[in-house]
């Protein structure tokens, strides 16, 4: 009788071992998309919200091109989230793209106006001087390892005058309602928005913060009236359940909700449902909703639908602290909550740290030591009997305030 062990030839052993070895290699070779993605300053020519595209001109290139904007793309206006149709034609903007593959065009997954780019990097410009006669402003900022300077003319909506060491910028009669009169000294920081190579908005940090708050109120009204933007992850009409992923911009709204609350699926005809499950997943939030199965029959994974939920109270929306702190139960769940609700505050520069912009949970743990470090730190604090609110305060103290907001470092 042949020994059955003789069948384990070298090729057979390789076949058995390959999945594990291959899997380890995939994890080891896994790299952050953010680091590899092309990022460009562009001029917005026009937007098409129906087809979710934008025509733009990349700086340094001739001609324009029309690119698709991903359905769940991060659109940033005045330093916070906004809508594609809020981008102003002619404005300078900053885009991140998926690499173009053979036979396909690049796709945009982040598009931010110029003020938002400065907010994301935490790098407004520094005014070094002005030429009132020529209506020209001299600016600089440290961008990476180099200090970049710009000499920009003001467009017709803004005038400039010098009064001793003060530089006074004032709106003209037909100027933008967003541009107030401001006074700065050389060395003061300002946020700018340019169009056609000229400055059309020049704002002090306080004024920029006010504009950002106004945009936040516009966004809240949109979420209140239209519902949270989501992508369908799974649909089981036979069981009457659907699972959706809520976009990053509506994180606070989604994570404030609790199972049992009534929600509305904004389909051709609004459909009532009951929330069964809420869970953070990187920067997105997974909602599982129960409703009538027949109402879900035509929905497919990948479809974009909006979900109306009860509006969180102002103190929740205005707070800088993550939503739902203290809800997670069990050591492992509590640790994962922290990774999915805080952002990396390491010193990696160059627009390459995924965890800075998409929560710490998005950092690749096989290539980055920060997730493991935070897991260990949070786990040790849990073992000491600390509450989640106190642990968050400790993280904020040791990791800095940037751990509470999406950002990038330069």
Which three-class secondary structure string do you get for the chain? Answer: CCCHHHHCCHHHHHHHHHHHHHHHHHHHHCCCHHHHCCEEEEEEEEEECCCCEEEEEECCCCCCEEEEEEEEEEEEECCEECCHHHCCCCEEEEEEEECCCCCCCCEEEEEEEHHHHHHHHCCCEEEEEEECCCCEEEEEEEECCEEEEEEEEECCCEEEEEECCEEEEEECCCCCCCCCCEEECCCCEEEEEEECCEEEEEECHHHHHHHHHHHHHHHHHHHHHHCEEEEEEEEECCCCEEEEEECHHHHHHHHHCCCCCEEEEECCCCEEEEEEEEEEECCEEEEEEECCHHHHCCCCCCCEEEEECCCCCHHHHHCCCCCCCCCCCCHHHHHHHHHHHCCCCCCCCCCCCHHHHHCHHHCCCCCCCHHHHHHHHHHHHHHCCCCHHHHHHHHHHHHCHHHHCCCCCC
pLDDT exceeding 90 applies to what percent of the chain?
Answer: 81
Q: What is the pLDDT of residues 129-139, one digit of tens each?
A: 999 999 999 99
CB 221 within 8 A of CB 209: no
pLDDT for the residue 3: 46
Q: Report, as an integer, the average pLDDT of 227-249.
A: 97
Give the C-alpha separation, 171 to 207, whole Å: 14
Q: What is the pLDDT of residues 94-109, one digit of tens each?
A: 999 998 777 677 899 9
Q: Report, as an integer, the average pLDDT of 42-54.
A: 97
CA distances from 47 to 40, 42, 69, 98 (A): 17, 13, 10, 19
Q: Report, as an integer, the average pLDDT of 183-189.
A: 96
pLDDT for the residue 9: 46
Binning pLDDT at 50, 70 and 90, where does residue 24 land? Answer: low
Phi, psi angle pair for 329, to nearest 5°: -120, 140
Q: What is the pTM of this model?
A: 0.89
pLDDT for the residue 8: 45
Per-residue pLDDT for 143 more than 70? Answer: yes
Give the C-alpha separation, 336 to 339, whole Å: 5
pLDDT for the residue 23: 58
CB 42 within 8 A of CB 106: no
Per-residue pLDDT for 57 more than 60? Answer: yes
70 Cβ neighbours under 8 A, 6+ residues apart: 98, 107, 108, 109
Q: Are strands 65-77 and 107-113 parallel, antiparallel or unpaired?
A: parallel
Q: What is the pLDDT of residues 310-326, one digit of tens each?
A: 999 999 999 989 999 99
Per-residue pLDDT for 209 more than 60? Answer: yes
Give the C-alpha separation, 251 to 37, whole Å: 24
The arrangement of strands across the sheet holding 166-171 comes to: 158-163, 166-171, 182-184
pLDDT for the residue 7: 42
Per-residue pLDDT for 146 more than 50? Answer: yes
Give the C-alpha separation, 178 to 146, whole Å: 31
Per-residue pLDDT for 6 more than 70? Answer: no
Binning pLDDT at 50, 70 and 90, where does residue 201 land? Answer: very high
pLDDT for the residue 22: 57
Q: What is the pLDDT of residues 355-403, one digit of tens each?
A: 999 999 998 777 788 999 999 999 999 999 999 999 999 999 999 999 9
CA 370 to chain centre: 20
Binning pLDDT at 50, 70 and 90, where does residue 19 land? Answer: low
Q: Are strands 146-154 and 198-203 parallel, antiparallel or unpaired?
A: parallel
Binning pLDDT at 50, 70 and 90, where does residue 1 land? Answer: very low
Binning pLDDT at 50, 70 and 90, where does residue 10 land? Answer: very low
pLDDT exceeding 70 applies to what percent of the chain?
Answer: 91
pLDDT for the residue 348: 82
pLDDT for the residue 251: 97
């Amino acid at each position: 009788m042949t020994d059955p062990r003789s069948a384990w030839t070298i090729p057979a052993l390789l076949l058995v071992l390959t999945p594990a070895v291959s899997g380890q290699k995939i994890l080891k070779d896994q790299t952050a998309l953010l680091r590899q993605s092309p990022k460009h300053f562009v001029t917005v020519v026009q937007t098409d919200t129906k087809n979710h595209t934008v025509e733009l001109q990349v700086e340094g290139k001739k001609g324009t091109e029309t690119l698709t904007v991903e359905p769940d793309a991060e659109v940033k206006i005045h330093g916070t989230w906004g809508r594609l149709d809020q981008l102003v034609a002619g404005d300078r903007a900053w885009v991140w793209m998926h690499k173009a593959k053979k036979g396909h065009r690049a796709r945009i997954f982040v598009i931010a106006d110029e003020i938002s780019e400065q907010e994301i990097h935490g790098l407004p410009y520094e005014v070094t001087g002005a030429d009132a006669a020529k209506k020209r402003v001299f600016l600089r900022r440290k961008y990476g390892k180099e200090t970049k300077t710009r000499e920009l003319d003001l467009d017709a909506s803004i005038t400039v005058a010098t009064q001793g060491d003060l530089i006074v910028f004032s709106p003209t009669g037909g100027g933008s309602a967003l541009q107030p009169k401001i006074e700065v000294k050389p060395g003061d920081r300002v946020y700018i928005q340019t169009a056609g190579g000229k400055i059309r908005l020049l704002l002090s940090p306080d004024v920029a913060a006010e504009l950002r708050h106004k945009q936040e109120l516009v966004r809240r009204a949109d979420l209140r009236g239209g519902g949270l933007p989501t992508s369908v992850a799974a649909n089981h009409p036979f069981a009457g359940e659907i699972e959706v992923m809520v976009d990053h911009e509506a994180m606070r709204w989604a994570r404030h909700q609790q199972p049992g609350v009534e929600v509305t699926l904004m389909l051709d005809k609004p459909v009532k449902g009951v929330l069964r499950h809420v869970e953070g997943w990187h920067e997105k939030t997974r909602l599982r909703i129960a409703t009538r199965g027949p109402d879900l029959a035509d929905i497919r994974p990948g479809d974009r639908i909006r979900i109306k939920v009860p509006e969180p109270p102002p103190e929740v929306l205005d707070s800088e602290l993550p939503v739902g702190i203290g809800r997670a139960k069990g050591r492992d769940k509590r640790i994962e909550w922290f990774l999915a609700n805080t952002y990396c505050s390491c010193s990696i520069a160059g627009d390459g740290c995924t965890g800075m912009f998409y929560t710490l949970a998005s950092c690749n743990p096989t290539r980055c030591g920060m997730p493991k470090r935070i897991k260990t730190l949070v786990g040790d604090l849990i073992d000491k009997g600390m509450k989640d609110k106190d642990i968050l305060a400790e993280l904020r103290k040791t990791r800095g305030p940037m751990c509470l907001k999406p950002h990038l470092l330069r």
